[in-house]
Amino acid sequence: MQSLLKDIKGLVGAYKKAPRFVAGEEMKQFPVLENAWLLFENGVITDFGTMDDCPEVNVETVDVVDCTGRYVLPSWCDSHTHLVYANDRAGEFLDRLRGLSYAEIAAKGGGILNSARALREMSEEELLEKSVSRLQSVIASGVGALEIKSGYGLSKDGEEKMLRVISRLKDISPIPIKATFLGCHAVPEDFSSATEYTEFVVGQMLPDFVEKGLVDYVDAFCETGYFSVEDTSALVDASNELGVKSKIHVNQFTTLGGVELCVNKNVLSVDHLEVISEDDIEALKRGMNSDLPTFPVALPICSHFLGIPYTESRRLVDEGLPLVIATDHNPGTAPSGDMLEAVRLGSIKMGLEPIEAIAAGTLNGASAMELDSEVGSITPGKRANFLITKEIFGLEVIPYRLNDAVVDKVYVNGDCWVG
């Protein structure tokens, strides 16, 4: 079935041929075609243009949608989530409100170890069921491509269970999903050090999971009290040798030199960066010289929820970098998969213009999962995954309306999913 959206107030991210990503000043130029039409068929975008050359279509055979006053945006591309988990951690939240820090809660056996215990006790079927329902709700909120990490298994069986659930989600999902093996997330109680556990992950888990086809990317939590730069380096080297790229949690609470390591080893993205040094920024700028840079990923829902600094996204864009925004959807530090909220915080808390925040949450997010040939912009040949807003004054209404739902309809592979 062919469909035509017409009289679109602004068609966002419309490229006849899209770049892989936008960086620095290009982010403000993320295109918005005014007074536009969009044609799609069999789930794929076929063409677009301005209303002065709108195609004549037979309304008996073509589904025509009037978009007067509305914007059409590429669906969100959420490149960093921990969507597969057993239970939320609302109990710890009370500890937080009473003044305990993330590290203090972890030291009491809370945090990642708490999620690992709950995951161990839950059957794969139940974990899948819970994850499917989260996946359905993020798709309904406008996410059109997703990355999901393991990392709450903390044993070979547990990590494999998580990766199998991610693989089963891929099989049933209407949107593309990338699986990240977050092998080094926390040190389980039966290991004496992060280095000892890293050796186990590298020797006993990684090759087996890669061979089973369960791994698109590898991840580590490079942080004081978790995994050192050396541990992270060992994991990245081992995965590079197997031809698997990495996406690394780094600089959430402290800066250890992990960013430079990641750039030097061609890591696909460095995620968090709530604290960042001049050396880190210089390293990221050097990374712009390779074919695909190391993408800096800001996770503002985590900053909001934990009350920690926001990533200096304005600065990173002003330095010419291809900023990405993602949710970090997880039960401990960002209990939400709402990309609209992440993009909104991009403007309210990180000083980005709405169009820059949108580019960070769409095309750049797609590239940080190497899914940019399929999603991330309104481009002929890409999936017809997009959102239609309500009638709004301009894109600035997205951050301005705070928690109002500005999205009216969500399309997935050309089908109207919501609205």
Which residues here bind Fe ion, judged by CB under 5 A?
A: 328
Pick one of 331, 335, 346, 365: the residue that binds ligand NIG (CB under 6 A). 331
How far apart are CB 250 and ligand NIG at their closest, in Å? 10
Residue 156 sits at φ, ψ, to 5 deg, of -60, -45
Dihedral in degrees, nearest 10, Cα atoms 149, 104, 279, 193: -70
Q: How far is CA 276 from CA 266, 343, 373, in A?
A: 19, 21, 31
Q: Which is nearer to ligand NIG, 205 or 301 (CB)?
A: 301
The answer to whether 39 touches 2, Cβ cutoff 8 Å, is: yes
Give the residue from 181, 258, 241 showing the smallest Cα distance to 215: 181
Q: Please, what's the largest Cα pairwise distance for the chain?
A: 70
How far apart are CB 15 and ligand NIG at their closest, in Å? 31
How far apart are CB 23 and ligand NIG at their closest, in Å? 24
Q: Count of CB atoms within 10 A of residue 190's CB? A: 8
How far apart are CB 112 and ligand NIG at their closest, in Å? 5
Can you tell me the distance from the alpha carbon of 231 to that of 250, in angstroms, rounded to the nearest whole number? 13
* Residue numbers 290-309 binding ligand NIG by CB under 6 A: 302
Pick one of 147, 280, 312, 328: the residue that binds ligand NIG (CB under 6 A). 328
Q: How many residues does the chain have?
A: 419
Q: Which is nearer to ligand NIG, 243 or 307 (CB)?
A: 307
Number of residue whose CB is nearest ligand NIG = 332
Pick one of 332, 354, 361, 376: the residue that binds ligand NIG (CB under 6 A). 332
Q: Which is nearer to Fe ion, 260 or 328 (CB)?
A: 328
How far apart are CB 201 and ligand NIG at their closest, in Å? 15
CA–centroid distance for 180 within its chain? 12
* Residue numbers 250-269 binding ligand NIG by CB under 6 A: 252
Q: Which helix (H) or strand (E) covers residue 7, if one does?
A: strand 2-12
Pick one of 141, 333, 364, 367: the residue that binds ligand NIG (CB under 6 A). 333
How far apart are CB 85 and ligand NIG at their closest, in Å? 7
Per CB under 6 A, does 249 bind ligand NIG? yes
Q: What are 404-408's contacts with CB under 8 Å, separation 24+?
A: 406/340, 407/141, 407/142, 407/340, 408/70
How far apart are CB 226 and ligand NIG at their closest, in Å? 8
Can you tell me the distance from the alpha carbon of 180 to that of 45, in angstroms, rounded to the nearest whole number? 28
Q: By CB neighbour count within 10 A (0-12 exposed, 13-18 middle, 19+ buried), where does 148 fall?
A: buried
Per CB under 6 A, does 346 bind ligand NIG? no
Q: Which helix (H) or strand (E) covers residue 407, if one does?
A: strand 407-412
Q: Which is nearer to Fe ion, 300 or 354 (CB)?
A: 300
Query: Which of these segments, 32-40, 230-238, 286-294, 327-335, binds ligand NIG (CB under 6 A)?
Result: 327-335
Per CB under 6 A, does 330 bind ligand NIG? yes
Per CB under 6 A, does 325 bind ligand NIG? no
Can you tell me the distance from the alpha carbon of 356 to that of 259, in angstroms, rounded to the nearest whole number? 23
Per CB under 6 A, does 81 bind ligand NIG? no
Q: Which is nearer to ligand NIG, 23 or 301 (CB)?
A: 301
How far apart are CB 170 and Fe ion at their closest, in Å? 19
Q: Which is nearer to Fe ion, 141 or 252 (CB)?
A: 252
Q: Which is nearer to Fe ion, 160 or 271 (CB)?
A: 271
The answer to whether 386 touches 73, Cβ cutoff 8 Å, is: yes
What does the buried/exposed string (b/e) look like for 375-397 if buried means 16 or more CB atoms within 10 Å of the residue's CB? bbbbbeebbbbbbbbbebeebeb
* Binding characters for ligand NIG, 212-231, by CB under 6 A (x = yes): ---------x----------
Q: Count of CB atoms within 10 A of residue 66's CB? A: 11
Number of residues that bind ligand NIG (CB under 6 A): 12
252 binds, among ligand NIG, Fe ion, none (CB under 5 to 8 A by kind): ligand NIG
Per CB under 6 A, residues contacting ligand NIG are 111-112, 115, 221, 249, 252, 302, 328, 330-333
